[in-house]
A and B are shown apart, each in its own frame.
Chain A
Amino acid sequence: MNDDNPLTILVADDSATDRQILETIVARDGHRVISARDGREAVEAFERERPDLVLLDALMPNLDGFGAARRIKALAGESLVPIIFLTSLTDTDSLVQCLDAGGDDFLSKPYNRVILQAKIKSFNRMRAMHSTILDQRDQIGRHHEHLLQEQTVAKQVFDNIAHSGCLDSNNVKYFLSSLAVFNGDILVAGMRPSGSMMVLLGDFTGHGLPAAVGAIPLASTFYGMVHKGFTMTDILREINGKLKSILPVGIFCCATMVDINFQRQRIRVWNGGLPEGYIRRAGGDPPEPISSTHLPLGVLSNKDFRDDLQTLTLNWGDRLYLWSDGIHEARNPEGEMFGDERLKQVFLDNEDPQQLFDEILDRVQEFIGKGERNDDLSLVELLMDQPERVNAFAAEAERRSRSSLSEWSMNFDIQPSSFRAFDPMPLLLNILVEVPGLRQHSGKLYTIFSELYSNALEHGVLGLDSALKNTPEGFAQYYELRQARLDAVDKGYVRIHLHHSTDDDGGCLRVRVEDSGPGFQPDQDTTRHGLEQSGYSGRGLALVEKLCDAVRYMGEGNEVEAVFSWRIDV
């Protein structure tokens, strides 16, 4: 807005002479004039025309200048409409009355044209400034609204990731203040395929977006790995490495991670930098602390990262409490912190463990009183309960039974035209590493598969005698013969049958390899020694026996089964 812009100016004066003089002065400067003969007319004209500035005589019939000024200011709302009182009143009380009524300035009679022009200009500058301030205020308001909107959306995105697990399980109680994610607190919980529950409470250093940014990779890594059955140390290492690489120096995540095994009534804990949590035994013993024994996540490189866990026995009915430092640092109106002692006292005072969670929150809120609201508060209670009473446990069992991966089998036949060029190992291994629990055994599985396959192909389908390989010349001859027969082969098959099943502690993979060859008659007792003596197998089979729980021959001796078991907790 330019202060030379023509304005619309309302002139209200009951004296025709004075009105005419003012109208002329104002119009000469290029402004548009609206006239009113008394206060009532002035208010009506204001409503109708919304002038930018008002020149108002103090004493007028009907409604005087004071009353008119009050109404006009009310009508103008938050926009600035300067009112200049036209007056020959000179006593202090009258002038104060003008200002009280909302007047911004005076112009005394006789009117001075130069002063009036200067005042109009000055008030117009003020109006422009006022409207700029209003615009900026509105803009800030809109930005703020936008920011809140974005935070809400971000929170939704975050919740979709963070709450994809089992935080709603009936053995979990938690409190996270509404925008805790922007204060850097994160809580995730998920079930492993084995039915144990993993929970991680984290507190990123800093506030706002930088603190929230790390929470998303943490949560997605956590859930991605927990559901696939990775071990706690694997998950901690992965999260640590990821945070270390993405977060700037000085931003890290204090965290406690717990793996709850409901069947064995046992927990494993890793605490890096969070305040010590407490175990509240069902029996009512004093709280047992779970102290931090590690550096926070995202500080050390994975080479220096320490992943040793504390293993504790928790009986059914025992409870574990974790919190971020928000509880300790909650302040009362005097600025005093809630602190460790008060927290411990809540535990000592507690009679009914079921009420403890609420008691902690109540006690903290009571302490804060009318002090500043604490937005940083995160609290979790984890109940060790009988597996059948934990609904997340049941849900996981249900999920596992629905998932074909808990028990599955497949047949894979290799036909003659493929023998020459096709190596089935990479294909089969690709499938197997996608099976939770088998990935970490891919090396062993490769050895087992390739030995069994080459035995089936070379001795079964191609009919080669491994005895040939006993001498160096025979070795070369063996491979010449192998190539010749491969080139010529036009019938036969190798059939690979896989069967995989899982239980609470791990799983079992059965590999059966059958070939179209004539087979052989193995000893009834297929010990390792017996197999080697049979002359059928090479040295490789001894290795297979070593890697597997059992290897046995079936049918005409053209079928071999190897049993490979794996465990979750290694």
Chain B
Amino acid sequence: MSSEDHRTGEKPDHTQAAEPASAAHLDREILQTLQEVMEGQFPELINTFVNDSEERIRNLQKALATRDQESVRRQAHSFKGSCNNLGAVRLAELCQVMEDGGREGKLDGLEHELVNIQQEFSQLKSILNTLTE
């Protein structure tokens, strides 16, 4: 990744700042493969993912509010799957914690995890946006 950084050194500064951060958020290899597969439809996919994720987060909020542990498990599980498909490894890890909590019925403290998910998602969103611009 760092060698790539040097080759793309002529890019604007904010890219250089984003790169090290994105490595923790995104598996670049998965994303690149996906880009190849999707070709022109890649931006649309990102758009779908973003909308999808926002809905998942809303659903998780609802499930936690109603203390519906099965719904928490399912929503977190599906969200995790999509994240994995996109290479959003950090977000997938956070979903896993949420899914485990749902399965084990330990909903206490999961509100905090949801906040983490929201923060991670908003960072991811901005990275993804730069990719599709």
Contacts and interface: CB of A to CB of B under 8 A. Distances in A.
B33 A113 contact: yes
Given A59-B74, A88-B77, A110-B85, A15 B38 contact: no
B79 to A, nearest CB: 8
Given A14-B78, A15-B52, A88-B77, A21 B45 contact: yes
Interface residues of B, number: 23
A59 to B, nearest CB: 6
Interface string A1-23: 00000000000001111101100
B52 A28 contact: no
B48 A20 contact: yes
Given A20-B44, A24-B38, A113-B37, A15 B84 contact: no
A86 B77 CA distance: 12
B72 to A, nearest CB: 13
A18 B41 contact: no
Nearest to B34: A21
Given A15-B52, A16-B52, A59-B74, A21 B37 contact: yes
Contacts of A109: 81-82, 84-85
Contacts of B86: 17, 110
B80 interface: yes
B38 A21 contact: yes
B3 interface: no
A111 interface: yes
Interface in A90-122: 109-111, 113
Contacts of B80: 88
A57 B80 CA distance: 13
A87 B85 CA distance: 11
Interface string A67-89: 00000000000000000001111
B84 A59 contact: no
Contact of B45 (A17, A28, A86): A17
B87 interface: yes
Contact of A17 (B37, B74, B77, B82): B82
Q: Is the interface of B mostly helix, strand, loop or mixed?
A: helix
B89 to A, nearest CB: 10
A24 to B, nearest CB: 6
A179 interface: no
B84 to A, nearest CB: 4
Contacts of B2: none
Nearest to A19: B48
A59 B82 contact: no
B108 to A, nearest CB: 24
A25 interface: yes
A24 B30 CA distance: 16
A28 B80 CA distance: 25
A113 B38 CA distance: 11
A61 B38 CA distance: 27
A85 to B, nearest CB: 12
Contacts of A24: 37-38, 41, 45
Contacts of B77: 59, 88-89
A16 B48 contact: yes
Contacts of B41: 20, 24
Contact of B49 (A17, A88, A89, A113): A17
Task: Enumerate the 3 nearest inter-chain pairs by beta-carbon distance, A residue then B residue, closest first.
Answer: A17-B82, A109-B84, A88-B81
Interface of A: 14-18, 20-21, 24-25, 28, 57, 59, 61, 86-89, 109-111, 113
Interface of B: 30, 33-34, 37-38, 41, 44-45, 48-49, 51-52, 74, 77-82, 84-87
14 contacts: A15-B78, A16-B51, A17-B48, A17-B49, A18-B81, A20-B44, A21-B85, A57-B78, A59-B74, A59-B77, A59-B78, A88-B80, A109-B85, A110-B86
Given A21-B38, A110-B85, A110-B87, 13 more contacts: A15-B82, A17-B45, A17-B85, A17-B86, A20-B44, A20-B48, A24-B37, A24-B45, A86-B81, A87-B81, A88-B77, A88-B80, A110-B84
